Chain A
Amino acid sequence: QVHLVESGGALVKPGGSLRLSCAASGFPFSDYYMIWIRQAPGKGLEWVSYISGSDALTNYAHSVQGRFSVSRDNAKNSLYLQMKSLRVDDTATYYCARSVWGTPPDFWGQGTLVTVSP
């Protein structure tokens, strides 16, 4: 069955960098868009970024544009989110999720916590 496992979350200082990973299994990874979504503590869900199956298309929320970069390695069934210039308000649980053509996702990982604090 579909399985998504995020990793890489950590405590980091403002201005720091972090790379999140998402290992996918149970489906033809390259056939699907993948999406990063985050949820600040006690808050709602926020779309962060998407990448098409061939990785030709990417896009970002205004709040992370220019600081975050999404990529994928279809040979390794893996998705990545490189985060730079992290700010306190980037603190959140980050989820990777599977999407058909960028539409609302159907399967989600369990999330990985990123904490940005001095």
Chain B
Amino acid sequence: QSALTQPRSVSGSPGQSVTISCTGTSSDVGGYNYVSWYQQHPGKAPKLVISDVNTRPSGVSNRFSGSKSGNTASLTISGLQVEDEADYYCCSYAGTSTSVLFGGGTTLTVL
């Protein structure tokens, strides 16, 4: 299966909101409510910021929110802060044969 589709880059100013999309198919994003989002700073391991489409793990800022419509999931970061600048990856369950698929990643720049 192909990777999920994300925009290569997005940008915003401090205080603004940005939304990152993640498009798959009915066999992955559209078929299950198991979409997660990860934040990765350079040289660091990915960190979970959203699970199960729209669940924030304990300790993650409420500025991060997730949603899904059809085959496209979205991550919205509101009140942008400089420390939000990072790469973001979506990940969807895709059935027992494939397990999970990742998006290609989106670089967020906070201007």
- B3 → chain A closest CB, angstroms: 7
Q: Which residue of B lies closest to A106 (CB)?
A: B48
What is the total number of residues of chain A having a CB less than 8 Å from a CB of chain B? 21
Q: How far is the CA of A105 from the CA of B105 in the complex (A)?
A: 16
Q: How far is the CA of A72 from the CA of B42 in the complex (A)?
A: 30
A95 touches B105 (CB 8 A): no
B102 touches A44 (CB 8 A): yes
Question: Contacts A44-B89, A59-B96 known; A104 to B104 CB distance under 8 Å?
Answer: no
B102 touches A45 (CB 8 A): yes
- A113 → chain B closest CB, angstroms: 11
B35 an interface residue at 8 Å Cβ cutoff?
A: yes
Taking CB atoms and an 8 Å cut-off, the chain A residues in 59-103 that contact chain B are: 59, 95, 99, 102-103
B99 touches A35 (CB 8 A): yes
A27 an interface residue at 8 Å Cβ cutoff?
A: no
B105 touches A104 (CB 8 A): no
A102 touches B96 (CB 8 A): yes
Category for how many chain B residues contact A? 20 to 34
- B42 → chain A closest CB, angstroms: 10
Taking CB atoms and an 8 Å cut-off, the chain A residues in 34-76 that contact chain B are: 35, 37, 44-47, 50, 57, 59
B18 an interface residue at 8 Å Cβ cutoff?
A: no
Instruction: Find chain B residues with CB under 8 A from A46 CB.
Output: 102
Question: Contacts A35-B99, A45-B105 known; A104 to B45 CB distance under 8 Å?
Answer: no
B93 an interface residue at 8 Å Cβ cutoff?
A: yes
B35 touches A104 (CB 8 A): yes
A44 touches B104 (CB 8 A): yes
Question: Contacts A44-B103, A45-B105, A46-B102 known; A103 to B93 CB distance under 8 Å?
Answer: yes
A107 touches B48 (CB 8 A): yes
Given A37-B102, A105-B48, A110-B44, 6 further pairs, Cβ under 8 A: A45-B89, A47-B99, A59-B97, A95-B46, A104-B35, A108-B45
**12 pairs across A/B with beta carbons < 8 Å?**
A35-B100, A44-B89, A45-B46, A45-B105, A46-B102, A47-B98, A47-B101, A50-B99, A102-B100, A103-B32, A104-B51, A104-B91
